[in-house]
Amino acid sequence: MNNKDLATKLISLVGGKSNIISVFNCYTRARTNVKDVNKVNIDGIKSTEGVIGVVVDKNQIQIIVGPGKAVKVAQEMTAQVGETTTGASQSSDKEEFKEEYLKTKSDIRKKTNKKGTALIRKIAGIFVPIIPMFIACGLLLGIYTVCENSLKEQFTKSTFGIVFNVVSSSVFTVLNVIVGYNACKEFGGDGIIGAALAGALTNPLMNGADGEGIWMGFYTFKTAEVGIFTILLVAIGTAYLEKLIRKFMPDIIDAFMTPLLTVIIMASAAFFVLQPIGAAINMGLAEMFKGIIKHCAWLLGIVPMFYLLLVLTGTHHSLMAVSAALIGPGKGAIGYTPLVPVQLMAGAAEVGAALYILMISKNKKLKKNIIGSLPIGFLGIDEPLIWGMSVPLKRPFIAAGLGGFVGGTMLAVMNITANVPESTGIEAALVCNKPWVFVAAFMISIVAGFIFQFFIGFKDTIEVKDPNTGEVKEEVIETSYAIKLYQKYRAKHPKKAKVGAK
């Protein structure tokens, strides 16, 4: 099924054009906001060729089709529906449809639609649109570092080297402004106001004539000390303040008075209140990670044990805020993050688990899902394997978590770090301080995931034809080596009946 046909079928399954509010996409999902969730055929979407999985979040249907394909399918759906909505979720739709949304059949919604999770998902949504540029610039920085180490000044001082350096660091140069825009928009405000205030906080003029900063009465403001948490506080506060002011502002002066008051109030709050708070958060976070790295680095190995569950709930990108704060700029920033390398070990271990299941399973549909998802699994795109294998079988989450702990602990103990807040797969070696150690840990995680999956096993569902009736039935086969060993042990050592038992 090509993308156009898939889009046509999905439009029908979500209740038709009249039920669609907007269509957009993220990295792996074509997303549509609908008016009535009860009109959506969830089971039909799940069984559609090319669809890996479905997540229902209030009135939003997230159809997982994989990287690259998500953009094309969303564009086809948009063209057919006749709308031009693109990018992140449209806040205006959420404002328009404030009524309590109807219950859905999705178990995922029940587990993830909590207030705390919803807030974390919003934070994650701020960084999702930046991921492609994080990955692109991170890989370019890795290539630049290799050239710098091998060619020295011959490369770094050449015109090509200078341009290459500027391009590879481009997204990090304007990161605060981008985050200011996305955060304000994600929380329902005007993204431009958020970007403008972020720009004011990072404007070189705020360093004063001598470059030493500006005295604010109780602290010295320096743009280099403005971290990602300050930007988030300012942008989110801007969104809520803007909406509050609009409620009371007369329509005739709303167009210019609301932005004016918002900027004046939030600029004052940013420089005198929110920057000290944001700097304190940044400093505390940096000191905490310094302590962990120095005294108990193995604790970071726990991160991969839960990372795929964060991916499942759509909250994993919130870790980018922590990594961005650690890398800097910002007060106390340490210039690197230990989180990115260790979290990627979960995906590597899941690949190992998938290889074992592919080798053992007799379920044709399951094997087809794994074969289609493995290549991009190596490249760090976890969702296809999660929805095509781990969610239906469940136990691969355990194997991947344990396997990821093995590789993650190795990286943490050897102090492997990254210089970008997000990367994917084995290619992340280019952004790590010791690339070959990362590659070794990646391979070890794959092997560990394979071994743990061998012991834990899975319930393989196959279709069996009754030779007498010709009826096709599903048969469940237990593949766990650990369970088989236990069964053999119990057969040799049966439990003794208690005295007096009937």
Domain locations along the chain: 1-81, 174-295, 299-317+333-502
pLDDT computed for residue 100 by the predictor:
35
Torsion sign, CA atoms 27, 32, 37, 42 = negative
For 150-159, how does the pLDDT look when each residue is reduced to its tens digit (9 = 90+)? 888 889 889 9
pLDDT computed for residue 86 by the predictor:
40
**For residue 155, what are its two tokens?**
């490369």
Count the residues in the chain: 502
Least reliable range by pLDDT among 242-246, 405-409, 421-425: 421-425
Our CA angle for 165, 167, 170, nearest 5°, is 105
Cα dist. 485→68, 191, 455 in Å?
44, 59, 10
DSSP state, 494? P
For residue 55, list its beta bridge partners: 62
The confidence band for 274, taking pLDDT boundaries of 50, 70 and 90, is: very high
Task: Name the more confident of 122 and 270.
Answer: 270
The confidence band for 138, taking pLDDT boundaries of 50, 70 and 90, is: confident
With a cut of 60, say whether residue 489 has pLDDT above it.
yes
For 219-244, how does the pLDDT look when each residue is reduced to its tens digit (9 = 90+)? 999 998 899 999 999 999 999 999 99
What is the pLDDT averaged over residues 206-216?
Answer: 88
Q: Are strands 214-215 and 60-64 parallel, antiparallel or unpaired?
A: unpaired
Closest CA to 425 of 67, 87, 95, 26: 67
DSSP 38-94: GG--HHHHHTSTT--EEEEETTEEEEE--TTHHHHHHHHHHHHHT----SS--HHHH
With a cut of 70, say whether residue 165 has pLDDT above it.
yes
Closest CA to 137 of 419, 326, 449: 419
Q: Are 439 and 429 in contact (CB under 8 A)?
A: yes
For 344-386, how does the pLDDT look when each residue is reduced to its tens digit (9 = 90+)? 999 999 999 999 999 999 888 888 888 888 888 888 888 888 8
Q: Are 346 and 402 in contact (CB under 8 A)?
A: no
Amino acid, single-letter form, for residue 90: Q
Most confident of 24-28, 92-96, 131-135: 131-135
Closest CA to 201 of 235, 168, 169: 235
pLDDT computed for residue 197 by the predictor:
95
Can you point out the beta strands (E) in 119-266?
214-215, 220-221
With a cut of 60, say whether residue 93 has pLDDT above it.
no
Task: Name the more confident of 489 and 428.
Answer: 428
| Interatomic CA distance for residues 372 and 385, integer angstroms | 9
Amino acid, single-letter form, for residue 111: K
For 462-484, how does the pLDDT look when each residue is reduced to its tens digit (9 = 90+)? 877 777 776 767 788 888 888 88
**For residue 104, what are its two tokens?**
């859905």
| Interatomic CA distance for residues 403 and 384, integer angstroms | 19
Domain 1-81: give its CATH architecture. 2-Layer Sandwich (3.30)
Our CA angle for 359, 29, 94, nearest 5°, is 150
Most confident of 101-105, 246-250, 329-333: 246-250
pLDDT computed for residue 71 by the predictor:
85
Does the predicted model carry a pTM greater than 0.85?
no
What is the pLDDT averaged over residues 384-399?
Answer: 88
How many C-beta atoms surround the C-beta of residue 120 within 10 A?
Answer: 21
Tell me the pLDDT of the chain averaged across its residues: 85
**For residue 464, what are its two tokens?**
């069996």
Closest CA to 197 of 238, 154, 145, 254: 238
For residue 465, list its beta bridge partners: 472
With a cut of 90, say whether residue 332 has pLDDT above it.
no
Q: Are strands 60-64 and 472-478 parallel, antiparallel or unpaired?
A: unpaired
